[in-house]
Structure 1
Amino acid sequence: MNADKAAIRAKEQLSSLLSQLHQGARLPGERTLSEEFGVCRVTLRRAIEDFISDGRLERRARSGTYIKRPMISSEMRLKSFTEEIRARGQEPSSSLISFKKTNANISVSKLLGINRGDDIFQVTRLRLADQMPVALETLRIACSSIPNLTHEDLKGSIYDVFFNKFGIRIMSAKAGITAHNPSEKDRNLLQTSSKTPCLLIKMLDLDQFGKPVMTAECLYRSDLFELQIEVSATIKEARSQKVS
């Protein structure tokens, strides 16, 4: 079999295999596939690279090659991760990385409107969609507003806990978005490579009385998550454009 025919055969058989597997499934190893398809590993590897370029496959560091999941597209509005993922027909879950009560430093105390050294809860969670890591979040919550939290509270939506347990409804937030190169530790948790940047969203959540309750630093995988923002002109700008 010449090289061109072998390449076509490898891509056809690989495409057929992908149609039989579910999104997020891990492919068998290259050696197994090359023997099954009857092509050399170099030819198989080129076929895999083509599918990676097309966005159908992805490599994960020290893990293997997987069928790529669809991008999570989120509108820039106040909505919990749990609500966002369920709206897409996926199952949200959390893995608790750390949970402790500590003292607020100067920057956190200014944001939360409390005194330096006041008690806060600091929570770091890995957020998953259908068991796929999507985001790593660190929350800092004023104990003066939320006097007690348990490990059980941190399994789902923190917004639901605030309302159902404490009667606090998050009504608004201030947010900033930047590109971020995650640390090796964070990359390992998110199961992403050093070539994949992340979106860092910093938020300050305010309750129904406009009181700061929580700061959040959320690190999202840019290969799985995109943020959509609707932009419109103000009435004054629209009138100015019409006149000119």
Structure 2
Amino acid sequence: MTDAKLPADLFADLDRGSPIPLWFQMSTRLEAAILGGQLPAGARLENEVGLGERLGLSRPTVRRAIQELVDKGLVVRRRGIGTQVVHGPVTRNVELTSLFEDLTDSGKAPTTRLLAHQVVEADEKTAMALGIEVGDQVSHVRRLRLADGVPVAVLENYLPLDLAPFSDADLAAQGLYQLLRALGVTIRVAKQRIGARAAHADEAQLLEIEPRGAVLTMTRTAYDASGRAVEVGHHCYRPDLYSFSITLVDK
């Protein structure tokens, strides 16, 4: 990954005598370049100091312009990497879909880093959610999901062993719900809770956010057509790249 080469004429018409702030002029031009494809997803912007020196702008002006793009979800600041183009946040309708499918539907390229895939004994909460006995063996899967190369979520799931014959390659290449459907499992209903908390140390590192930075959380238990619990998930998401959309209907 290299720094993006900005179009030579991108800032040629900055008007230093205009009542429109320079940071706003700069951010609108960068936004147009991102939305127009001149700065593709994954491109890394030149650092604030270098960009300011090249354009004859103060560092606070450049920082404010970049922050405007961060607030719009067009770029993210990544620890140890810099400022990277992401082409907007993912907005997920609260439906019976997987994150893999939602990213694909939104035009982003999902990739997965498998963090854990093992058989463990169910603790009390997992056993209660899956309707099994404490200590029964279950499949534990933990993954980092990326969109266009940018980490978006840490996904942790527990499944009954008979519904988890998946290989590491399967889990890296497809969404969990896709794999379950291939087994003939039809998910009909799910109980879901959405919240927020401070990131755990390893989550902050994986998601490339500040230590104890805020994350969105979702806990979901999904059931098949017979009413059997087929998976329980504990997921956390970067709030600057991800949001939930819910439609409310009056009774």
Q: What displacement does 1:8 show? A: 5.9
* Cα 1:201/1:48, change in 2 over 3 Å: closer
Q: What displacement does 1:219 show? A: 0.5
Q: What displacement does 1:48 show? A: 3.9
Map 1:153-168; keep pairs closer than 5 Å.
153-155=170-172, 156-164=174-182, 166-168=183-185
Counterpart residue number, 1:80: 98
Q: Secondary structure at the match of 2:249?
A: coil
TM-score by length of 2: 0.79
* Cα 1:177/1:28, change in 2 over 3 Å: same
Quote the Cα distance in structure 2 between the aligned partners of 1:10 and 1:182: 31
Quote the Cα distance in structure 2 between the aligned partners of 1:225 and 1:41: 28
Quote the Cα distance in structure 2 between the aligned partners of 1:124 and 1:200: 15
> Is the Cα–Cα contact under 8 Å of residues 42 and 149 in structure 2 kept in the other structure?
no
- Selected match of 1:193 from 205, 210, 221: 210
> Is the Cα–Cα contact under 8 Å of residues 27 and 68 in structure 2 kept in the other structure?
no
Cα displacement string for residues 75-127 of structure 1 (whole angstroms, at most 9, x for unaligned residues): 11101112111111111111111111111112211111111111111111011
Cα displacement string for residues 45-71 of structure 1 (whole angstroms, at most 9, x for unaligned residues): 454456556665543333322345312
Q: Which has the larger radius of gyration?
A: 1
Matched letter for residue 51 of structure 2: L
Q: Does 1:223 align with 2:216?
A: no
Q: Secondary structure at the match of 1:171?
A: strand
TM-score by length of 1: 0.81
Q: For structure 1, which runs of at least 5 residues remain unmatched after alignment? A: 235-244
Q: Does 1:126 align with 2:141?
A: no
> Is the Cα–Cα contact under 8 Å of residues 219 and 235 in structure 2 kept in the other structure?
yes
- Selected match of 2:157 from 139, 142, 145: 139
Counterpart residue number, 2:119: 101
Cα displacement string for residues 14-47 of structure 1 (whole angstroms, at most 9, x for unaligned residues): 7545624224422112342233223454554454
Counterpart residue number, 1:241: none
> Is the Cα–Cα contact under 8 Å of residues 27 and 69 in structure 2 kept in the other structure?
no
Quote the Cα distance in structure 1 between the aligned partners of 2:57 and 2:28: 15
Identity percentage over the alignment?
28
Quote the Cα distance in structure 2 between the aligned partners of 1:84 and 1:67: 19
Map 1:53-68; keep pairs closer than 5 Å.
57-67=75-85
Structure number with higher helix proportion: 1
Counterpart residue number, 1:239: none
Counterpart residue number, 1:210: 227
* Cα 1:57/1:112, change in 2 over 3 Å: closer
* Cα 1:116/1:193, change in 2 over 3 Å: same
Q: For structure 2, which runs of at least 5 residues remain unmatched after alignment? A: 1-15
Matched letter for residue 152 of structure 1: A
* Cα 1:214/1:171, change in 2 over 3 Å: same
> Is the Cα–Cα contact under 8 Å of residues 49 and 59 in structure 2 kept in the other structure?
yes
Quote the Cα distance in structure 1 between the aligned partners of 2:73 and 2:104: 24
Cα RMSD after superposing both structures: 2.7
Counterpart residue number, 2:53: 35
* Cα 1:120/1:65, change in 2 over 3 Å: same
> Is the Cα–Cα contact under 8 Å of residues 102 and 120 in structure 1 kept in the other structure?
yes
Matched letter for residue 82 of structure 1: F
User: How many aligned residue pairs are there?
Assistant: 229
Q: Does 1:112 align with 2:135?
A: no
